[in-house]
Structure 1
Amino acid sequence: MKVLHLESGMHLYGGALQVAFLLRGLQRPGDEHVLACPQGSAIAEAARPHAARVHELPMGGDADVGLVGRLRRLIRAERPDLVHLHSRRGSDVWGGVAARLEGVPVVLSRRVDNPEPRAWARWKYRLYDRVIAISHGIREVLLACGVPADKVVCVHSSVDTERYRPGCHDRAWFQREFAIPDGAPVLAMVAQFIPRKGHRTLLDAMPAILAAHPRTRVLLFGQGPEQQAVRELIAARGLGDSVSLAGFRKDLDKVLPCIDVVVHPALMEGLGVALLQSAACGVPMVAARAGGIPEIVVDGRTGILVPPGDAEALAQGVNALLGSEALRRTYGQAGRALALEEFSIDAMVRGNRAVYEQVLATRRR
């Protein structure tokens, strides 16, 4: 089996990280996996040890119609049995068109939960032999948009449970690195700085959190276009002593086990890789009941769910966990167990391979 994978992300997180996991796990004698990705992208280097070949191509997003021609030439050169499209930014549609024009079956991974107009969805999803939703929440969104149920299968995203595991092994370093006073409870939010991630909801909840736990410190990890606006809002509300922008980190496996509670008040979310990482590290979570989040933040088992955009409920959930070490421990242990059981890399690889085999078997009939 030969598969051409297409990933258009530039940075090695989210969907691109899942592609790296998949390429690593799919290696099997007789199989061949080839990656097409943007020039200069982080996934190119990460994939080289695991892919037969890596092709770096110009990818200009939704308006880059020329991507169809570039992909058609690549498909003719590589002659794959199947094309797997892993991301949007134009590669979903133009990749689907290119594969169809070359007569090659095509699979799309869908990682976001925002709905699409039904008329557009009816046309777009005809391009694909199968759609892999990374959460049941995304699958339900696709069905509501009119995509046939037999075309959509759920295969959860994964987390490296060997790298992300419980145990803060260097608390002194952690406190120095992030200027955390002795004994201060620490919250973390790991997300792109974009409106739908809900940073403002967390800031709205901070007065109630600080009233109950005045020594609380909050670390906001990530980068994105809203970063400066959030920084200004922190200053305007006088939260600078409690809330810090901690930037994009490559050592979250070292940081997360030292966190008391991870907060994720996203308004929309496909699943949330940061939540998978937090659960694998045994960290309890408070999150919004949106998209695929309830599949990893199981209310009353691995964390607490609140309505999206509800700052009061968010504060109540955070305060409940900060007020009970026993509850934090119970939820953290359950999160680790769930990550091992349902979100392992092996399970994700098996699920994707099964889809490939089903699509190819159907084509042979």
Structure 2
Amino acid sequence: MNFVFVGTSLGARGTETHLVCLAQALARAGHKVITVAREGGYIARELRAQGLPVVPGVFRNAADVRGMLSVSRAIRSARPDWLVGSFGHEYWPLLTVGALTGTPVALFRHLNSRLKTLSRRLLPRWARRFIVVSEAMRTNLVSQGVPSERIQCLYNPLDVDYFRVDEAERAAARRELGIEEHEVLVGFVGALKPEKGAFRLAEAFNRAMPRSPHLRALWVGEEAAHAHLRQLLAPELQERHILRGWTRDMRKLYAAMDVATMPSEWVEPFGRVSIEAQACGVPVLASRIGGLPETMLEGESGLLLPPGDVAAWSDALVTLAQMQPAQRRNMGEAGARFVRERFSSERISREFISLLESRDAQV
């Protein structure tokens, strides 16, 4: 198949990573992929690094004609079977260009925020495929009045050859961070904001660390929020916390962890950190909310906890810290197998093609 993907965001978070990973997987499978992306942005940089063609373009808003012209040029060049979009402000212009050029449009929905009435009624009908990244998202949209048969589900893909268990990387990363062999390093990766549960997790560490002398914490998030986070950490425990800014390659930091956390308090659409960590052999503690339960095997590759319940999170941190290393390794191995079997980019790209070809999908 031939595809034109569109993603003119400058960001480098879940939606952008999804687009890049799926486009790369489709190209590896022999499909032709051209992407309209913003110059200097993460999407353009990553795809060009893999030798994939990128057409420069920007949608500053839903009425940006210049963005539509860029997409039209890509369509004339590629003659795609599908036009694929992932960002809300690009939905309507892509549907317009698709209608004008006779190109079917597949739209991915990555947020659980409520759709406006017109979008709720028309987007799932006018797009040939309207795809969410978890069954929890489908349930959310159905509760808003979107017919279930108009929604397809396709999980986020992950490059499991990139995110993988690497014992040599683990040893080197722990030495670099100054983590002793007997210490248990628990990591948080994400925005240091209340909705991500970072601040209640800090409180849970304040309660858990005095009970577990070998427990350490690694925080990976925006450096601008580090000062506020430090204010929430008990002064006598500060030395047991390591704060790092965003990094382009998370593999080293995942490798250093014994446990990863996703303590979100908002309705997560999916949970990319969860599957990245598990792919690297790291057990996960996650909130029982949104799409997070779909990213793990509860009781086997990690534990699900009530969002915002500091006492429950503190107890879970102590439990994992006091667990025998072999038990944590077994959980990590279970998670790595699960992610490889369920979320590998090769599998998800095949499922995407099947979804597009399916005659059962509502059109």
Whether 2:261 is the aligned partner of 1:253: answer: no
1:36 corresponds in structure 2 to: 36
Residue identity matched to 2:321: L
1:356 corresponds in structure 2 to: 356
Secondary structure in structure 1 of the residue aligned to 2:318:
helix
Whether 2:106 is the aligned partner of 1:107: answer: yes
Residue identity matched to 2:209: L
Q: Deviations over 1:13-66 (max 9, x none)?
A: 523233233223223798432101112112213223667631111232567565
Q: Deviations over 1:137-165 (max 9, x none)?
A: 11221222222222212111122222222
Paired residues for 1:286-325 under 5 Å: 286-325=285-324
Q: Which moved more, 1:327-336 or 1:41-50?
A: 41-50
Q: Deviations over 1:253-306 (max 9, x none)?
A: 233132111011012322122111111112111111111110123321211111
Paired residues for 1:1-365 under 5 Å: 1-27=1-27, 31-48=31-48, 53-61=53-61, 64=64, 67-72=67-72, 74-76=74-76, 78-88=78-88, 90-118=89-117, 120-170=119-169, 173-181=172-180, 183-223=182-222, 227-237=223-233, 238=235, 239-267=237-265, 268-325=267-324, 326-358=326-358
Shift of residue 189 of structure 1? 0.9
Between the aligned partners of 1:79 and 1:98, the Cα distance in structure 2 is 13
Q: Which moved more, 1:306-315 or 1:122-131?
A: 122-131
Secondary structure in structure 1 of the residue aligned to 2:83:
strand
**Preserved contact between residue 302 and residue 331 of structure 2 (Cα < 8 Å):** yes
Residue identity matched to 1:228: A
Between the aligned partners of 1:261 and 1:179, the Cα distance in structure 2 is 17
Residue identity matched to 2:349: V
Q: Deviations over 1:78-127 (max 9, x none)?
A: 44232111233x12333233323433211011222333345541133333
Between the aligned partners of 1:110 and 1:84, the Cα distance in structure 2 is 11
Shift of residue 234 of structure 1? 1.6
Between the aligned partners of 1:212 and 1:6, the Cα distance in structure 2 is 50
Change (3 A) 1:50 1:185: closer
Change (3 A) 1:100 1:204: farther
Secondary structure in structure 2 of the residue aligned to 1:80:
coil
Between the aligned partners of 1:339 and 1:6, the Cα distance in structure 2 is 27
Residue identity matched to 1:160: D
Identity across matched positions, percent: 27
Change (3 A) 1:6 1:43: same
Provide the TM-score with structure 1 as the length reference: 0.87
Change (3 A) 1:175 1:51: closer
Task: Flag structure 1 segments of 5+ consecutive residues without an equivalent.
Answer: none
**Preserved contact between residue 200 and residue 230 of structure 1 (Cα < 8 Å):** no
Secondary structure in structure 2 of the residue aligned to 1:131:
strand
Between the aligned partners of 2:28 and 2:280, the Cα distance in structure 1 is 30
Change (3 A) 1:362 1:32: farther
Change (3 A) 1:216 1:194: same
Task: Flag structure 2 segments of 5+ consecutive residues without an equivalent.
Answer: none
Secondary structure in structure 2 of the residue aligned to 1:27:
helix
Between the aligned partners of 2:210 and 2:84, the Cα distance in structure 1 is 50
Secondary structure in structure 1 of the residue aligned to 2:27:
coil
**Preserved contact between residue 7 and residue 35 of structure 2 (Cα < 8 Å):** yes
Shift of residue 200 of structure 1? 1.1
Secondary structure in structure 2 of the residue aligned to 1:169:
helix
Q: Which has the higher helix share?
A: 2
Between the aligned partners of 2:253 and 2:243, the Cα distance in structure 1 is 14
Change (3 A) 1:218 1:362: closer
Between the aligned partners of 2:160 and 2:28, the Cα distance in structure 1 is 22
State the Cα RMSD in Å.
2.8
Q: Which moved more, 1:335-344 or 1:189-198?
A: 189-198
Residue identity matched to 2:188: M
Q: Deviations over 1:159-211 (max 9, x none)?
A: 22222222431555323432334532111011133442221121121122112
Q: Which moved more, 1:246-255 or 1:278-287?
A: 246-255
Between the aligned partners of 1:28 and 1:312, the Cα distance in structure 2 is 46
Count of matched residue positions in the alignment of Structure 1 and Structure 2: 359
Between the aligned partners of 1:61 and 1:194, the Cα distance in structure 2 is 27
